[in-house]
Every structure is written in structure tokens, then in C-alpha cells.
Amino acid sequence: MGIFDMIESALSWYKFYVTVLLDENLEVNKYDKCGENKVINGKQCTIGWYINDNIIGHVKDKIVDEVISKIEDKFPGLVIQKGQKLDFLGMEIFFR
């Protein structure tokens, strides 16, 4: 496989994944194309991703669970981390 094929594969995955999220009425972030936002129950829900690693935030855990469930419907077998301390792309993220 040549470098061009790898670039094309990454672009194909990006386009496909963005379409999946747009189907849930999320909008691509105008400042970072690997993030999408949607206002749910008056509060912003944000999904950020790098390839197939995602981070999702909303003030209500129930909303996060609902968004994860919708993504899991399209991609069964996901590994999900939840809690106040997460490992995301080699970073330890702490929530208060």
C-alpha cells in the first residue's frame, strides 16, 4: 500500500464518520474539523475525535449515554470509558 492509499483511506473514514454524526444532527465545528457540536436540552454537546478515538461531553450524563448509544448502533463493540479520569490519546483527563 502506498502513502497515497493511506491518505485516501483516512479521508474516506473521516467523510464516512462525519456523515454518521451529521445524521444525528450534529454540526461540524467551524474551528476544528474533528469535532462536532449540538445543543441538547439547552446545553452544548461536543464530540471530538482523532481517527477512531472519541471524547464526548455534556453536562448531563444521560445525554452522553444517549449519544454513545446512537454511535454504538452504527459501530457495535466499542470500548467505552466513563468516569472522572479518562485516558484519551495518551493524555490523562480529569473531570471535576
pLDDT tens for each residue of 19-61 = 988 888 899 988 988 899 999 999 999 999 888 889 999 999 9
DSSP string, 28-90: E-SS-TTEEEEEETTEEEEEEEETTEEEEE-SSHHHHHHHHHHHHHHSTT-----SSEEEETT
What is the spatial distance between Cα 56 and Cα 46, in angstroms, rounded to a whole number? 6
Provide the grid cell at 8.
Answer: 485516501
Which of the two residues, 62 and 24, has the higher pLDDT score? 62
Q: Label residue 68 by pLDDT band (50, 70, 90).
A: very high
- Within 10 angstroms of residue 58's Cβ, the number of other Cβ atoms is 20
Parallel, antiparallel or unpaired: strands 35-40 and 43-50: antiparallel
Judged against a pLDDT cut of 80, whether residue 2 lies above it is answered with no
Domain ranges of the chain: 3-94
pTM: 0.79
Q: Label residue 83 by pLDDT band (50, 70, 90).
A: confident
Amino acid at 18: V
